[in-house]
Structure 1
């Protein structure tokens, strides 16, 4: 079962209070119509998807809506973010998606704004879905790994056929008439692909944002290419950063790069990938179980579980779960080596799931420690160079 010790690395600071949750990821459908070989839900340590109902029931949706509203009103939150996820959420069908969004909006009432987004592989994304999302105000993120060769290496149908042609056709529709719904692209890094060719293939649909995701892994199951002391993922990302940063106009937001730049200048991050901002998201599985970030499925069976359920437990109760608190404690929850590191305010220890080791749980540096250090120090060097040039020019 892996390491089940409470993951809090230090006593809670005196007077510490948890941050309320503001991002709710609902697993609307627990199955998928692709068979991606790197998927943390279906291909990694936690196989609990097999016992999940295919689709979240209307009862689960009603309880979820009620709990979100309860939490938002208790903490006087002006807005919350609902992310429809899976599996593949489009498998739930247009009617079920519409019911879900309407149920949460109705529960929240007029005083709390509901921002809704949906992450899809785009295999079923068509005019009917996009008209619905336009009516509901749902922003759409699409998973795309670059050009046809890079994408189809991993993102294949169950029979082995690639998905790139279908995805790019759907993207053409989304990025055309429905561009106002386009949330961005999610690309899982494969260091075997050419970085610039991958980036330029992603730019073809003019996405408002690109998320580069490092493949999920940990110290027990390292990601591909790690283990020889090199920095293959930083080596891949650095040329893209240099190309993106040097562009004569802003082509797109790249969340990882923007977050690192913001953190270097004393700001905060927008995701858990870097930085020390408290984690304020939670996952509701198709059966109504409340879980931590589902990327923990890559660590060991049961890693994301909290024991809570929307039918009986409040989200305030979830905030007091030791693992949830650990992801809000920032520097105090990190390994000693991370706390003493000069770039810890920017790195933040890396993604929580990537710190796992069976012998010590999550109180470790990220398995991507070397890569993060190289990427961050490279970006810092570029920033320092430009600040120095600006100051020199003002003399």
Structure 2
């Protein structure tokens, strides 16, 4: 993940970069320089060569990455592809808030073979709860216009879909229907970042309530029961895959090792950027592209911990019957002062309720087909 721009043109008040514990963005250069890009490309090439990587995925991120503009983004992608050509396959994507996705920008991204993901939190009400400009002005119409632009025939091949952060104050069914109306290829629901010390909105850690599961379960049922799936939903598909005995997933679930590093605009390596929800400097590694190979990150205990799967979890998680699916939840969400990251997720009750519901629905569906979840896992 390359932080090509450290500033943003929106002021989403739940943003882990600007509004949570770590404020290191203030000291970062506004944009990644050509020198930093060249050094980053060299480190990726070195890593691909040493480990014989068949493919590398590069996500342009921020802040708002499109603030870098077509000329700068073109130089960044060109330098990366030039250095990695013949060495490994390169897939480049960008995650954007969508407000700069006009026709010229969409054409540039498609011409450069850059896949485009957009962030939107649902209908106008849900989105404008938090995703506004600094002066409070709505971003909704501009984002929806950007999505419509990416759905045009000449651009849709590079439209990856939407990321939607769950807003408990919004009606989940209205959010679901509004997202389906946009006719996007994929979407995913993200949990707001928080820790046991600084819990997410609406949670009192340790109580029995499951507000986030209660929000997501009706959407899973609508999706699961549809005669034809209207859209791919990454969270639901990942949890079904893991429940059936699969291993591959994204970083929020499962016990697989994490294969992600963040490069900040100054070239410093960081752990997954959601670690900024934990504390000032929690994502920092003290290493960077100008001095260190990527393998140097394995000297850091928290990086190594994220590769250990079951062995990295606390006793309560290891004893849980859904641990192979849950995986302890997202790493930063486990943090608690004094015990670090060996705790269950601050979302433990929600994850348990959501996953066990999905597994019950899956078991019922398999029984109607004359088999069982246990039989599928055994095979």
Question: Aligning the two structures, in what range does the TM-score lie when normalised by the shorter sequence?
Answer: over 0.9
3-state DSSP class of the match of 2:253?
Answer: coil
Instruction: Check the 8 A contact 1:274/1:351 in 2, yes or no.
Output: yes
Q: Does 1:83 align with 2:59?
A: yes
List gaps (5 residues or longer) in structure 2: 373-379
How many angstroms does 1:197 deviate by? 1.0
Are positions 1:214 and 2:191 aligned together? yes
Q: CA shift at 1:316, angstroms?
A: 1.2
Report the CA distance between 1:148 and its aligned residue.
0.4
Contact kept, 8 Å, 2:48 with 2:87, in 1: the verdict is no
**Following TM superposition, by how much is the alpha carbon of 1:109 offset from its aligned partner in structure 2, in angstroms?**
1.7
- Distance in 1 of aligned mates of 2:360 and 2:343: 26
| CA shift for structure 1 position 392 | 7.5
After TM superposition, the structure 1 stretch with the greater mean CA deviation from structure 2, 180-189 or 191-200, is 191-200
Q: Which runs of 5+ in 1 are unaligned?
A: 1-24
Q: Do the aligned residues in 2 keep the contact of 1:319 with 1:325 (CA within 8 Å)?
A: yes
State the alpha-carbon separation in 2 of the partners of residues 86 and 362 from structure 1.
26
Deviant stretches of 4+, over 6 Å: none
TM-score by length of 2: 0.96
Deviates more, 1:179-188 or 1:203-212: 203-212
After TM superposition, give the deviation of residue 389 of structure 1 in Å: 1.1
Q: 2:280 aligns with which of 285, 297, 301?
A: 301
Cα drift, residue 359 of structure 1: 1.6
Counterparts in 2 of 1:1-395, with a 5 A limit? 25-177=1-153, 178-227=155-204, 228-391=207-370
Q: Distance in 2 between matches of 1:370 and 1:161?
A: 35
Deviation at 1:199, TM superposition (A): 1.1
| Structure 1 residue 270, shift from structure 2 partner | 2.7
| Structure 2 match to 1:19 | none
How far apart are the structure 1 equivalents of 2:288 and 2:258? 19
Please tell me whether the aligned partners of residues 89 and 120 of structure 1 are also in contact (alpha carbons under 8 angstroms).
yes
Measured against aligned partners, the alpha-carbon deviations of 1:192-221 in whole angstroms (never above 9, x if no partner) come to 111111011111222221110000001001
SS of the equivalent of 1:36 reads: coil
Distance in 2 (alpha carbons) for counterparts of 1:335 and 1:375: 21
CA distance in 2, matches of 1:209, 1:270: 16
User: Counterpart of 1:139 in 2: which secondary structure?
Assistant: strand
Which range moved further: 262-271 or 74-83? 262-271
Separation (CA, whole Å) in 1 of partners of 2:80 and 2:59:
12
Contact 2:110 2:158 in 1 (8 A): yes
Shift of 1:299: 0.5
Please give the root-mean-square deviation of Cα atoms over the aligned residues, in Å: 1.1
Greater RCO (Cα-Cα under 8 Å, separation 6 or more): 1
CA distance in 2, matches of 1:124, 1:392: 50
Residues in 2 aligned to 1:129 and 1:122: alpha-carbon distance in whole angstroms:
10
**Deviation at residue 73 of structure 1 after TM alignment:** 1.3
Partner deviation per Cα, 1:265-320 (whole Å, 9 max, x = no partner):
11124311111110000000001100000100000001011111101100011133
SS in structure 2 opposite 1:33? coil
Instruction: Name the CA distance, whole Å, in 2 between partners of 1:256 and 1:319.
Output: 28
1:8-42: per-residue Cα shift (whole Å, max 9, x none)?
xxxxxxxxxxxxxxxxx000000000000100000
Q: CA deviation at 1:132?
A: 1.3
TM-score normalised according to structure 1 size: 0.92
Query: Secondary structure of 2:304's match?
Result: helix
Distance 1:392 1:43 in 2: 49
